Structure 1
Amino acid sequence: MRVAIVAEAFLPNVNGVTNSVLRVLEHLERTGHEAIVIAPGARDHEEEITHYAGARIVRVPTVMVPLVNSLPVGVPSATVLETLAEFKPDVVHLASPFVLGAAGAFAARQLRIPAVAIYQTDVAGFSQRYHLASLAAASWEWTRTIHNMCQRTLAPSSPTIDALKVHGINHIHRWGRGVDSVRFHPSKRSEGLRHAWDPTGRKKLVGFVGRLASEKGVHRLQAIHPREDVQLVIIGSGPEQDYLEQLLPNAHFMGALSGEKLAQAYASLDVLVHTGEFETFCQVVQEAQASGVPTIAPRAGGPVDLITPGKNGLLLDVDGFEDELGPAVDQLTRPDLLPALKESCRRGVRTRTWEALCEQLVGHYEAVISSAQEVPLTIIGQRPALPRWAQKALGARI
């Protein structure tokens, strides 16, 4: 099988979209499939890789967008159509399509190649967080246009599927995210790291892992920051780092971590708190659970499927999150409950391997390829009606 992946984000930028694409590429190489990736280019100071897991990486120019200045956005161009026409894939995989992925969707339709769209980013929710209500409405209109041009949309959680249905998106299937339960493991706990964070050995080590940006709601940790029995550990980087360092002066800011350093950090926490309510899945919750660390998150989006209250963590109301956070941390760190919580966290991720999830994904590829062979895709003479801003953005680019 030949698979073309059009990714809204890719290395050297590391986030949930990138991580999923990397695992898919590794699986495709391991199982004998061919792949190519079309992705945004690196910024000037970053190294740009040209191949990964046997797949060639084709880059498009990038632009920086206000409010999300740590995430370069790929510019739709003729490169997308030309690359797909040359590679002749059996299926096009659109990883969190919105800008570059939209060009991929149009190109796949023009070339009559079946496409699978992976919904991973709640752009409308982010827009609301940035107080851009008009953009939120346009985002849903645009998302519906992109996804309904594809033969199948894969969404990671039941709340996300419900939201997509409400906004008129069709042919939705559930596809979660895998976790590396070997890398993320309770055995990676480091007493040296815990001592560095809390030399007294008496504090509750409460961590956050993720991008330091407004939509992640990290400021909510201010509710427990003053407590003398709590030590906050912030792992990640992003545009709000300077602001958060001023807001939470006693927290340890570790920067962005990866690999074994990240695995050690997870396992050395007592509790992980994810503060944002716009997660379509929330991989950090799953990685923390694999590390034997109970988790707290808002009762919204992906964490609703991952956290069973009282078993592996707690879900808090979005509106009352700050008020409930302190008692939730106290409950999850009770000495008489913590061992059972840790065991339940670990037990819950045993079947969520990337190998199993990628096998499911290949099954989705095969299904849309088979359907396209039975009922050939129609050549669309005119593009679907688009918002004016989208017409301007994509215009003649593809």
Structure 2
Amino acid sequence: MGHEVVIIAPGPRDEIEERGPRSRIIWLKSTVFPLDFNYRYFSDVPALYETLDRENPDFVEASSPWRSASIIADWPGKAPRALIMHADPLSAYAYRWLDPVATRDTIDGLFNRYWEHLRRLDNSYDMIVSASAGLSARLVAGGLKHVVTNPMGVDPGVFSPSLRDPALRKGLLEMCELPETATLLLGVGRFAPEKRWPMLVDAVAAAGNHHQVGLVLIGQGRDRKAIERSIGGNPHVRVLAPITNRGELARVMASGDALLHGCEAETFCMVAAEACASGLPLIAPDEGGAADQARANGGWTYKSGDPAAAADAIAEYCLGRETGLAGPRADIPAPRTMDDHFRELFGTYERLIAPKSRRAA
């Protein structure tokens, strides 16, 4: 879109990685995060500030609500800045752990320090960008005043109902030891605790007492063994290796009957958007980004974290499909794309830059 984009990221060494005529990554030597060796954090703040000063950006975007957001808030540069809420730690951890024993008001009170942190950031940033209406509403209710909702979107030209492959669908159902008349559910994403895959496996098994339904899980992650334990000897649930080819994933997505999702902590839920773009209905928890998309696209929702409610929603969808009242659609409207997201985002940035440019002049 004609903009110069520079990413400053913590890495194992100081290095500049060119990504094109107007884009590059500046890696700053940084310390490994002690709780997860896959991550690093900006441990040399003067080096980060020096890099920002040298780049002299028109706009600065922080993409994590943690320490780096506070560092960028304190940077003395004059460029306007935005915080992108790519994480919802309260939903991913606090609510998931404590919802069974405490009210949301009580939990928020226990984690008031985090809310105070977000409110301090809100005072320092020109905008807090949220990708779902549900998250935006919670942030506003928590006292933030600069929240802007800007949903993300799918890769243009990749996902489509036209890619539906009856032979592929038949093969996946055969893998689940089920006939073509059965319902094929897909679960796609990281195998992590907050995704609640074991709960969904149990829900599919319960719905399977009254309907022929199979579940194919596609992904990878540290929770794989827990998922396999929950599957046990159930022949109607299968785990596939992650599909790294986007075209192949699009073909699989279009060949299912619905996407089954279990995580209530999604800030947007890219896989739900890709499923909708593929013509699939959504069966999702009633909170988070997946819920927003399910409601917007006529999907099914169930009480978050409740396996019995998930089983009921699956059974309701299966019954609707068996009676011809539900199922994949070939006539869905064109989905929102990432190009749409960035046009809107950069347009907002340009409007924030203009007043500061006039004051500087």
TM-score tier (shorter): 0.7 to 0.9
1:116 and 1:154 in contact (8 A); partners too:
yes
Match of 1:204 in 2: 183
Cα separation, 1, equivalents of 2:300 and 2:87? 23
2:162 to 172, 179, 187: 187
SS in 1 for 2:322: coil
1:307 and 1:314 in contact (8 A); partners too:
yes
- Aligned 1:1-398 pairs, distance under 5 A: 31-41=1-11, 50-53=17-20, 54-60=22-28, 61=30, 63-64=32-33, 66=35, 69=36, 72-78=39-45, 79-107=47-75, 110-128=76-94, 131=97, 136-199=111-174, 200-221=179-200, 222-225=202-205, 227=208, 229-249=212-232, 250=234, 251-258=237-244, 259-308=246-295, 312-318=298-304, 320=306, 321-334=309-322, 336-338=324-326, 342-343=329-330, 346-347=332-333, 350=334, 352-374=336-358
- Which amino acid letter does the alignment assign opposite residue 364 of structure 1? T
C-alpha deviation, 1:292, in angstroms: 0.7
C-alpha deviation, 1:125, in angstroms: 1.7
SS in 2 for 1:231: strand
2:300 and 2:317 in contact (8 A); partners too:
no
Q: Structure 1: which 5+ residue stretches go unaligned?
A: 1-30, 377-398
C-alpha deviation, 1:70, in angstroms: 7.9
Distance 1:232 1:174, change over 3 A: same
- Which amino acid letter does the alignment assign opposite residue 253 of structure 1? V
Match of 2:103 in 1: none
Cα separation, 1, equivalents of 2:181 and 2:147? 48
1:98 and 1:143 in contact (8 A); partners too:
no
* Residues 231-254 of structure 1 deviation map (CA, whole Å, 9 limit, x = unaligned): 211122222111111112443222
C-alpha deviation, 1:223, in angstroms: 1.4
Distance 1:147 1:129, change over 3 A: same
1:80 and 1:104 in contact (8 A); partners too:
no
Match of 2:101 in 1: none
Aligned residues: 333
Match of 2:104 in 1: none
C-alpha deviation, 1:189, in angstroms: 2.5
RMSD: 2.8
- Which amino acid letter does the alignment assign opposite residue 123 of structure 2? N
Match of 1:380 in 2: none
Cα separation, 1, equivalents of 2:58 and 2:133? 29
Distance 1:243 1:176, change over 3 A: same
Distance 1:373 1:49, change over 3 A: closer
C-alpha deviation, 1:148, in angstroms: 2.7
Cα separation, 1, equivalents of 2:320 and 2:205? 17
Cα separation, 1, equivalents of 2:126 and 2:250? 37
Cα separation, 1, equivalents of 2:260 and 2:37? 23
2:82 and 2:125 in contact (8 A); partners too:
yes
- Which amino acid letter does the alignment assign opposite residue 203 of structure 2? A
Cα separation, 2, equivalents of 1:331 and 1:235? 25
Cα separation, 2, equivalents of 1:135 and 1:113? 35
Distance 1:167 1:260, change over 3 A: same
1:307 and 1:313 in contact (8 A); partners too:
yes
C-alpha deviation, 1:150, in angstroms: 0.8
Cα separation, 1, equivalents of 2:228 and 2:311? 22
SS in 1 for 2:205: coil
C-alpha deviation, 1:126, in angstroms: 1.9
1:181 and 1:290 in contact (8 A); partners too:
no
C-alpha deviation, 1:63, in angstroms: 2.7
1:116 and 1:152 in contact (8 A); partners too:
yes
C-alpha deviation, 1:294, in angstroms: 0.6
Q: TM-score, normalised by structure 1?
A: 0.75
Cα separation, 2, equivalents of 1:96 and 1:193? 39
2:96 and 2:194 in contact (8 A); partners too:
yes
Q: TM-score, normalised by structure 2?
A: 0.82
2:31 and 2:43 in contact (8 A); partners too:
no
C-alpha deviation, 1:312, in angstroms: 3.3
Cα separation, 1, equivalents of 2:31 and 2:169? 40
Cα separation, 2, equivalents of 1:201 and 1:65? 49
1:294 and 1:332 in contact (8 A); partners too:
no
Q: Structure 2: which 5+ residue stretches go unaligned?
A: 99-106
Q: What percentage of aligned pairs have identical amino acids?
A: 29
* Residues 227-284 of structure 1 deviation map (CA, whole Å, 9 limit, x = unaligned): 2722211122222111111112443222332311221221121110111111222221
Cα separation, 2, equivalents of 1:144 and 1:192? 53
